[in-house]
Structure 1
Amino acid sequence: MASSIQFIPAEYSRTDQPESVAREMLRCASEDIDRLVDAGLPFDRREGVRHFDVNDLYTLGMYSNSTRTQPELAFRMLFRFAGRPVDDLLRDKAWEFRVQLECPECDEVAPWHFEAPDVVRFGGRLEGGAAPEPSAGSAAYAATVTTTGARTPLVSTELRRLTHEYLDAGYRWQMIPVAMQADYELVHGLGATSCIAASLLLAERFRTAGYKAEAKRGWFCGVLGGALDLPHACVEVEDDDGRLKTVDIAKAQLAARLSSDTGDFQELCLGSIYNKVIPSTASGNASFGHHACGSPLPAQVRADIRSAR
């Protein structure tokens, strides 16, 4: 298993998870970790304890075929909806959207810039959502976001050809740090893919074919109760009928990987919108937030998105 996975390169790797976390995530013993290390799993040893990159651990778990690792269980739960009738994804859906912004090593009051939810142009609604006030260290954003869905499949034969060409290329979906995902040529050169990297590359191919296209970031909702910031991206492209379409290439790929009965959902991902995604104003390789204090460290943005009752 480990020999077939491209681990996170050193320049993007953060080996900060101790071996106890690795054993828990992978539901394995120390001798199993030994075998993974012998097969190439990168680690650092600090105070006598091996530490690993959480992205490598997630990817190993997803492809372990053990059916019991934390990543396998999480992704199976995540995609339960994809095998159900898609009509439920087309109705209005309200979300309580909360974001905490943190600026490490900051003690200066300065303005915040937050790439807010951008749902109105897709038929959604936004209640609240005042921009964060200038502050030091941290800030918050809160809104009730209503998303909706609509069947608007791609009509361009060229856009569909390019999309299926990507899906058929055999790239392995992996958990990859956001900074590395922006380096989409590196990611695909390793034979891997992820939502941001895939969207950046596909948008480039659409533009090369003469279409107006841009990768855009957002949030995938309803994940493990909501308290999980799951980076997401898709491609917005102007189709031959003049309408703006959304190609959620990574979700189509993951649905095909994780379940055999997700054909309707996979087709929905090729041009349509659905209510489990909140688009933002951020481009595909941009950060969700910025603090103008001058700190050398990037602002951290943590979303908590829960179904509104």
Structure 2
Amino acid sequence: MLRCGPDDIETLIAAGLPFDVQSGVRHFDVNDLYNLGMYSGRSNTQPELAFKMLFRFAGRPVEDLLRPRTWDFQVRLECADCRTAAPWHFEAPDAGRFGGSVTEVAAPARESAGEAAYTATVTTTGVRTPLISPALRRLTRDYLAAGYRWQMVPVAMQADYRLVHALGSTSCIAASLLLAERFREAGHRAEAKRGWFCGVLGGALDLPHASVEVEDDDGVLKTVDIAKAQLAARLSADTEAFQELCLGSVYNKVIPSTASGNAAFATHGCGSRTPVHVRADIRSLR
């Protein structure tokens, strides 16, 4: 992942890279390794190469992101420590909020144990609705100029968005929660919402995502995808049009859900304290 040898690993450990020893073998946290790779400066680590590929689309004409696009949306819910049948709750796709649709829905069975599934056909579309409120535009500019460094952060930690930003870091959930708070302080109705970022590597990488939904001065509900704007600016020199699209408009590679920014996508009523694992497989339908 880091494209480095044993001597480099020893140097990182000496500098404070955390690890656990299990049966005589050192184990590292995947978030730590990804963050090291992202900022290694070598240009050949797995995280650097993955994010360059992830954002290839951001340097292309944005018109392709504004047309309707249909997805085969399949999610498997897994409750690892489940011992009894119980109701499932799944925060479903909600593309209709922004001109899309959700059809052919097959929701989880009323009660079951261990596993469940949700499938649907989801259509997304893009709409240019740039922010017009001077306060909203100033707050987004201030955030992007603050120098927070995007990192992989455990989901549970991202909810503590003040701690994440106090460390100089950010993530899509932490950024959206903080920005939504600042929008509300400026007098706007705003909420961080979760969804999925789709169409990456032919469906092999569908990423849970978060953004801010805010009511602008014109009364229109708009989306501020601050993390994608930040990442695009860092990873590609020719993404200005996409960055502007992220500041108020919607685009067809994101499927919004009903989940709030720091909520789980799914829960199971069996009483297990282990979070439900949500495995998404989202493929574009031609």
Superposed pair shares fold, TM > 0.5: yes
Quote the residue 1:36 is aligned against.
Answer: 12
Calculate percent identity across the aligned residue pairs: 76
Q: Determine if the alignment matches structure 1 residue 71 to structure 2 residue 47.
A: yes
* Map of 2:23 onto structure 1: 47
Size of the aligned set, in residue pairs, is 285
- Does the CA contact (< 8 Å) of 1:200 and 1:215 recur in 2? yes
* CA shift for structure 1 position 31: 1.1
Cα pair 2:199 2:206 within 8 Å, conserved: no
Instruction: Check the 8 A contact 1:74/1:224 in 2, yes or no.
Output: no
- Residue identity in the other structure for 2:23: E
What is the match of residue 123 of structure 1? 99
TM-score, structure 1 normalization: 0.91
Per the TM alignment, residue 131 of structure 1 is displaced from its structure 2 partner at its CA by: 2.0
Q: CA deviation at 1:254?
A: 0.3
Worse-matched range after superposition: 128-137 or 239-248: 128-137
User: Which of residues 262, 265, 270 is equivalent to 1:285?
Assistant: 262
- Give, in angstroms, the shift of residue 252 of structure 1: 0.2
State the SS of the aligned residue for 2:33.
helix
Deviates more, 1:33-42 or 1:270-279: 33-42
Q: Give 1:130 deviation, angstroms.
A: 2.6
The answer to whether the 8 Å contact 1:147/1:278 transfers is: yes
- Contact 1:93–1:146 under 8 Å retained in 2: yes
Indicate which of 134, 139, 143 corresponds to 2:120: 143
- Higher RCO, 1 vs 2 (CA within 8 Å, ≥6 residues apart): 2
Counterpart CA distance in 2 for 1:203 and 1:29 is 43
- Pairwise CA RMSD of aligned residues? 0.9
Ranges of 4+ aligned residues in structure 1 off by more than 2 Å: none
Cα contact 2:101–2:124 (8 A) shared by 1: yes
Give 2:62's match in structure 1, choosing from 57, 61, 86: 86
Q: Which amino acid aligns with 1:292?
A: G
Q: How many angstroms apart in 2 are the aligned matches of 1:282 and 1:136? A: 23
Q: 1:153 aligns with which of 126, 130, 144?
A: 130
Distance, in Å, in 2 between the alignment partners of 1:71 and 1:107 is 38
What runs of 5+ residues in structure 2 fail to find an aligned partner?
Answer: none
- 1:121–1:147 distance in 2 versus 1, CA, 3 Å: same
Give 1:223 deviation, angstroms.
2.1
SS of alignment partner, residue 270 of structure 2: coil
Q: Per-residue CA shift, 1:48-76, capped at 9, x if unaligned? A: 21100101111111111111111111100
Distance in 2 (alpha carbons) for counterparts of 1:63 and 1:128: 43
Q: Give, in angstroms, the shift of residue 229 of structure 1.
A: 4.4
TM-score, length-normalised on structure 2?
0.98
Distance 1:91 1:230 in 2: 21
> What SS does the aligned partner of 2:106 have?
coil
SS state of the match for residue 222, structure 1? coil
